[in-house]
């Protein structure tokens, strides 16, 4: 996948108990679609809280945040409540959407190999096109990268 490609469409269950259809944002908002490995782990919590803390600024930029992991809805609901996350988390338990976006990868941690999500973010414009891809995201600088990309899109 590269900038200019159509974002793969999906409908996934969300932390608010409803289904989210990516097409529902067409013509309205930019979508910050971020994939993360696991609810309530250090890096994932830091990333989610950074998006939470900048929620007003992102909303002002006409962007919506959607987080995706392989976790269950019950896990997402606990994570949202614990950290007061003001955006939806989507449950991709069969990894179909993660595979469509190319973020479901064979990982290696402490010599153990397993399949999981490679932390990645896709910025999708109101026409449904991917404008920016952030792969192998480093959490500390990531929010600034996303904000910079949104500002760049406003100038275009």
Q: What is the DSSP string of 91-155?
A: E-TT-HHHHHTT-EEEEEETTEEEEEEPPEEEEE-TTSBEEEEE-S--HHHHHHHHHHHHHHHHH
11: which residues sit within 8 A by CB, 6+ positions away?
19, 20, 21, 22
* CA 71 and chain centroid, separation: 13
Residues assigned a catalytic role: 44
């Amino acid at each position: 996948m590269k900038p200019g490609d159509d974002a793969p469409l999906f409908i996934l269950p969300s932390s608010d108990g409803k289904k989210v259809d990516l097409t529902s944002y067409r013509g309205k908002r930019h979508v910050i679609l971020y994939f993360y490995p696991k609810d309530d782990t250090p890096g994932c919590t830091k990333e989610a809280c950074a998006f939470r803390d900048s929620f007003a600024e992102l909303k002002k930029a006409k962007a919506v945040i959607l987080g995706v992991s392989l976790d269950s809805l019950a896990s997402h609901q606990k994570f949202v409540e614990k950290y007061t996350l003001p955006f939806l988390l989507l449950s991709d338990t069969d990894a179909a959407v993660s595979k469509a976006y190319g973020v479901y990868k064979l990982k290696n941690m402490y010599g153990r190999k397993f399949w999981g999500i490679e932390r990645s973010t896709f910025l999708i414009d109101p026409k449904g096109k991917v404008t920016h891809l952030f792969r192998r995201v480093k959490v500390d600088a990531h929010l600034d990268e996303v904000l910079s990309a949104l500002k760049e899109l406003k100038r275009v």
